[in-house]
Structure 1
Amino acid sequence: MLTLIFVIMMFVVFGKLIMLAIRATWGITKVLFTVVFLPVILICMVVGGLVSVALPILVVIGVVALIGAER
């Protein structure tokens, strides 16, 4: 009986730790894509001659950032 309680509590504790790790990883991934990968992709598009595609993407992201900053 004690073993069953121990196993159940172990799943509860490690389940909560796994959920915390997933939330932290998701937050780090969002920051990494926003701060590092998006500007690099836009710069590569401009250097590659795709200014006509990079500029609208930049404008859309800017508008979304302005609307999202009001919260």
Structure 2
Amino acid sequence: MQVKLSEQISSDDAEIILKHLPEWIQDALISRATEIDYPVEAIIEMAIASFLDTEALSFADCKPGRSQ
């Protein structure tokens, strides 16, 4: 089996990942994506990245329309 690597999670992959998570986590990820108007696949990527690298882009960095 050959694995195809890409830079981003596809919307199809995000849907598969969501289906394998507990419902309360699905709801939280979808809610956050809606709240900040980001695609859910980006939210999943941020969740994984913040788990693997504490200096990665995090949810706290995603505040559209707010100046720092």
Same fold (TM over 0.5): no
More contact order relative to length (CA 8 Å, sep ≥ 6): 2
TM-score for both structures, normalised by structure 1: 0.31
Bigger Rg, structure 1 or 2: 1
TM-score for both structures, normalised by structure 2: 0.32
